[in-house]
Structure formats: structure tokens, C-alpha cells
């Protein structure tokens, strides 16, 4: 969740205004848009084998169908929130929906890998404008109290469940129609959302509009992340110690270094670096990078395993991930009770270790492994672990900060999710492809060896995140930050 504007700097809608009386329709509209944005981070996964076959993607480059979206989404997310404050949240929401819908049409019309990756990047830019504006529209339109609690609860549920639903919907559309329809489906939904937004979503801006938005910073950080990801992906072809890999790495470091420098000297930077002095926030974002690295790779390689090794069709592959959705929901619900009894740090640690155990379980997969014994226990453990870890991570990442930094804290947490998923997928894909190429044996055995290598590294990353949590996070600080997280009581009550 992003751009949670503080009441002191935001124009709110009065309860007796016409807009306030239609706030329920407004919430439906923005939740529909958020669902579409979150859905697209995963809906392509089960369509990847079909996309690879039709457009002739190489195994190493296939991940860009996912990563182009995630990197641009994460890189411009904070800029989108600030631009909405200054230019108008409905205006940015409408612009974002327009870009997202048009890019979805281009995705479905793609005839080459470069065309599709470019359109996915444009789609990510639209998502980066829509997502922060959507949450801000809720907080500035819905009256405070139980109504806003329900609206925020609905938004949180959409944000948490959209990705999991994407796997099932992607399988259904790919199997019944074609892979193009995982993108075409956004066009009528986007047009309907756009029409409803123009009619029912009110305009609002921050009252304090001094300073601009840091386009330079957003461009530098996004470019740096894209070059870094490209360097990691191509290291398998170029060689880790080659001049090309080292040169790309140097460019990435230079761009990210320039971003850090601009954030120190700009009067109105994209990120106030001082916010990272808060240990709970820094730890939560660091751990989130690892958690999403493993989760995104699990979806990616799991989908390939089901279809390329087990012979599942796209719909069957999507259905195979349904326990993932149920497990995350169950873990999220039980984590709230467990935190009250054992504390935030203990639940977070337990969730990370449970997730690591789930990924470790799948390391033993072979081409002959059954779904029920070989894969399902891993899915169940990972899902429960993610559910138990994500709630405390959200609370300590967004709680305990100054009111005027709550939007930044929320935006950083969302950014960590997108960037973590992209970088993790790049790293694990590189190791998976290297493991496949170096394996001497049947083709199917080589592919599975690559997938299980990725799962093993993902398990190690989650275990490392648990160690970082244990060492750097103090129980008292974690409980205090969670208790002060904005809107926590309302969300729980909803």
C-alpha cells in the first residue's frame, strides 16, 4: 500500500457532500483498478510456456515478461504517489488506468519478445500511477470511522489476494482462449473502470504543494535496477568476470550511486534517506526483498515445472496453485492471534522459517514426483509461512514513523515487494539456467535440476532473512512499531 497521506496535508471530503454519499461506488472503482494492477504481477506466469513458444523467447530472457512490469512498477511507485499529491489524485488515477489499458492491448498484439517486454514496461508505469492514487482516494473520500475501516479492509484484501487469483485466472484464459487474453482481459475492465472513475471518483490534492516531484530520482533508480537485472541475467552468457558483465555492473552501481547522491542534495527528494535510521523499517524492507524473491521465483519455476515437466495445461497449472491462496489467507488470519500471544518478532521468524522449509521441500522434486507428495506439502508450508510473515512485516514497515512520513514508509514497503520479486527472479533464473546447462543427463532431468537449484537458493534466502531478523530486530521495538502502525486497529476490526 502506498502514499497514505496525512490528514494535516490532505483535503478530505465532508460526510454530507454528494461525493461522500457515493463513497461506496468510489471504493468499488479504485479496488477494481487495484485488483487489475496486482493481478498482472502474476497472471502471466502460467501463460509463460505458451508465450515462450509463440514468440520464441530464450529460457534466460523469458523472465523479462514478468520483470519488465515489476521493475518499472516498483521504480516509479513513489513518484506516482507524489505526483498524485501535487497534480490531483483522480487525474493521476485516470492517466494511469489509460496507460495501463493501452499497454495491455499492446501486450496482446505483441509479435516479438522486444515488443512484449516494452509493452509490459509501459504497463508497469501505468500501475505505478494507479496504485498509490487508489489508496489516497480512499483515505480522502471515505469518512473516518467504521466506513473507512471497511474500505481499507477491502483494499488490503484485494492487494493481498489479487496475485494469487492471477495464477488461476491466467490458466483459465490461456487454456480456454490463448495467452493473448491474459492481457486483452484488461481492456474492457480498464475502459469500464475509466468511465466509472470519471463519474464517481472525486478530485483531491495535498494542501501543501511546495516543491515538485523527483523525476530525476525515479529515472535514476529505475534505470539502475533495470541495468543491474540485465547484468545478472546476461552473466550466464557473458561470464561473471567478463568485461561486459563488469561494465554493466559498474553502470548500474553508478546510476544507483547517482540516485543516492541526488536524494541527499535535492530539497524535495523521492526518498528521505533519514527514514532508514529507523531499525524496524529498514529490517522489514530488507526482509521483504528476500521474501518476495523466493515467492516470485516459486510461481515462475513452479508454473514451468507443471507444464513443461508434468504436462499440465495452463488451467491445471493455475489450479495447482489454489492451495497457495488458501494457505496465505489462513496464515494471515492466524498471525494476528499469534502476535498477540507470542509477539511480532516471534511470528515473523516462524513465518520465515516455515516458508524456507516449504521451498526446501521442493528441492527433492524429480520429473516423476507426484503433485500430492512432491509439491503440495511445499506449497502449503510456503503459503502458511508467507501469510504469517507478511502481516508482521507490514506492521513494522509502516508503523512507528512520523505522520508526515507514513506515505513514504508505505511506498517503500510496496516498492520492496516489486523490486524484490524482480531481482530475486533474475538471480534465481540465472543460477537455474546455469545448473540446467551444466547438467549431464536427459533434458527433463536437466530442467528439473535447474528448477530445484532455484528453490534451494530461495530457501537459503528466506533462512538468511530469518537470521537477519533475529540479529537486528528487537522484540520490544517490533511490538511498539506494530502497535503504532496507522490504521492497524481499523483494519483488524474490519
Beta bridge partners of 10: 206
Q: 123 with 202, same domain?
A: yes
- Structural domain boundaries, residue 249: 214-269
Query: Helices 89-109 and 186-200 sit at what angle, rounded to 10 degrees?
Result: 170
Measure Cα distances from 463 to 145, 342, 459, 466 in Å: 40, 20, 6, 5
Rounded CA-CA distance 293/426 in Å is 9
Q: 158 with 298, same domain?
A: no
pLDDT of residue 5: 36
Q: 59 with 161, same domain?
A: yes
pLDDT of residue 164: 67
Measure Cα distances from 339 to 19, 336, 343, 392, 475 in Å: 38, 5, 4, 8, 11
Q: 474 with 405, same domain?
A: yes
Question: Pick from 185, 211, 237: which residue ends a domain?
Answer: 211
Q: 247 with 372, same domain?
A: no
Q: 218 with 151, same domain?
A: no
Q: Are 376 and 463 in contact (CB under 8 A)?
A: no
Q: Is 190 helix (H, G, I), strand (E, B) or coil?
A: helix
Question: What CATH number does residue 368 fall under?
Answer: 1.20.1250.20
Q: 325 with 228, same domain?
A: no
Q: 314 with 207, same domain?
A: no
Burial pattern 53-78, b for ≥16 Cβ within 10 A else e, equals eebebebbbbbbbbbbbbbbbbbbbb
Q: 223 with 187, same domain?
A: no
Q: 326 with 442, same domain?
A: yes
Q: 82 with 98, same domain?
A: yes
Q: What is the mean pLDDT of the chain?
A: 82
360-389 residue pLDDT tens: 999 999 999 999 999 999 999 998 998 888
pLDDT of residue 169: 85
Q: Are 379 and 321 in contact (CB under 8 A)?
A: yes
In the numeric block, which cell numbers belong to residue 127? 500501475
Measure Cα distances from 245 to 47, 232, 235, 260, 423 in Å: 30, 8, 6, 22, 16
Number of domains in the chain: 3
The one-digit pLDDT tens for each residue of the chain (494 residues) are 333 333 333 444 444 444 445 677 888 888 888 888 878 877 888 889 999 999 999 887 888 998 888 888 888 877 777 777 777 788 888 999 999 999 999 999 999 999 999 999 999 999 888 887 777 777 677 766 666 656 766 666 666 566 667 878 888 889 889 999 999 989 998 999 899 888 887 777 666 556 566 788 888 888 888 888 888 878 877 888 888 989 999 999 999 999 999 988 887 787 888 888 888 888 888 998 888 888 878 888 998 999 999 999 988 988 998 888 888 878 878 887 888 888 889 999 999 999 999 999 999 999 999 999 999 999 999 989 988 888 788 778 777 766 666 667 777 887 888 888 888 888 898 899 889 988 988 889 999 999 999 999 999 999 999 999 999 888 877 777 666 554 444 333 33
pTM: 0.80
Q: 257 with 335, same domain?
A: no
Amino acid at each position: 500500500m502506498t502514499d497514505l497521506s496525512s490528514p494535516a496535508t490532505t483535503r478530505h471530503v465532508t460526510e454530507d457532500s454528494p461525493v461522500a454519499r457515493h463513497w461506496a461506488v468510489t471504493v468499488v472503482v479504485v479496488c477494481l483498478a487495484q485488483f487489475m494492477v496486482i493481478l498482472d504481477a502474476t497472471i502471466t506466469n502460467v501463460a509463460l510456456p505458451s508465450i515462450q513458444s509463440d514468440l520464441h523467447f530464450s529460457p534466460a530472457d523469458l523472465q523479462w515478461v514478468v520483470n519488465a512490469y515489476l521493475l518499472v512498477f516498483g521504480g516509479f511507485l513513489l513518484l506516482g504517489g507524489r505526483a498524485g499529491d501535487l497534480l490531483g489524485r483522480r487525474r493521476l488515477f485516470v492517466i494511469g488506468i489509460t496507460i495501463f489499458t493501452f499497454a495491455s492491448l499492446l501486450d496482446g498484439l505483441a509479435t516479438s519478445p522486444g515488443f512484449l517486454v516494452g509493452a509490459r514496461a509501459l504497463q508497469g508505469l501505468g500501475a505505478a500511477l494507479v496504485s498509490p492514487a487508489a489508496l489516497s482516494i480512499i483515505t480522502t473520500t471515505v469518512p473516518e470511522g467504521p466506513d473507512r475501516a471497511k474500505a481499507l479492509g477491502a483494499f488490503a484484501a484485494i492487494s493481498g489476494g489479487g496475485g494469487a487469483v492471477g495464477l488461476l485466472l491466467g490458466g483459465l484464459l490461456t487454456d480456454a482462449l490463448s495467452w493473448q487474453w491474459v492481457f486483452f482481459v484488461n481492456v474492457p475492465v480498464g475502459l469500464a473502470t475509466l468511465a466509472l472513475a470519471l463519474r464517481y471518483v472525486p478530485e483531491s490534492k495535498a494542501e501543501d504543494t511546495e516543491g515538485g516531484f523527483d523525476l530525476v530520482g525515479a529515472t535514476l533508480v529505475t534505470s539502475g535496477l533495470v541495468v543491474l537485472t540485465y547484468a545478472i541475467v546476461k552473466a550466464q552468457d557473458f561470464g561473471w568476470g567478463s568485461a561486459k558483465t563488469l561494465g554493466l555492473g559498474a553502470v548500474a552501481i553508478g546510476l544507483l550511486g547517482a540516485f543516492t547522491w541526488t536524494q541527499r542534495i535535492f530539497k524535495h527528494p523521492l526518498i528521505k534517506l533519514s527514514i532508514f535510521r529507523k531499525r524496524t523499517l529498514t529490517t522489514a524492507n530488507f526482509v521483504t526483498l528476500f521474501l518476495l524473491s523466493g515467492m516470485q521465483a516459486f510461481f515462475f519455476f513452479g508454473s514451468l515445472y507443471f507444464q513443461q515437466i508434468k504436462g499440465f495445461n495452463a488451467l491445471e497449472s493455475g489450479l495447482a496453485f489454489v492451495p497457495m491462496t488458501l494457505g496465505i489467507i489462513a496464515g494471515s488470519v492466524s498471525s494476528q492471534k499469534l502476535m498477540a500471544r507470542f509477539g511480532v518478532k516471534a511470528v515473523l521468524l516462524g513465518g520465515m522459517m516455515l516458508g524456507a522449509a516449504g521451498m526446501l521441500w521442493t528441492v527433492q522434486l524429480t520429473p516423476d514426483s507426484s503433485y500430492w507428495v512432491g509439491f503440495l506439502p511445499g506449497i502449503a508450508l510456503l503459503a502458511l509461512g508467507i501469510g504469517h510473515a507478511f502481516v508482521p512485516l507490514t506492521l513494522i514497515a509502516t508503523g512507528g514513523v512520523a505522520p508526515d512520513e507514513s506515505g513514504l514508509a508505505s511506498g517503500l514497503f510496496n516498492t520492496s515487494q516489486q523490486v524484490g520479486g524482480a531481482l530475486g527472479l533474475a538471480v534465481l533464473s540465472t543460477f537455474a539456467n546455469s545448473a540446467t546447462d551444466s547438467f549431464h543427463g536427459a533434458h527433463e532431468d536437466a530442467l528439473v535440476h535447474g528448477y530445484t537449484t532455484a528453490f534451494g537458493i530461495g530457501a537459503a534466502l528466506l533462512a538468511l532473512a530469518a537470521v537477519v531478523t533475529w540479529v537486528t530486530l528487537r522484540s520490544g521495538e517490533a511490538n511498539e512499531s506494530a502497535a503504532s502502525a496507522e490504521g492497524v486497529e481499523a483494519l483488524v476490526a474490519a
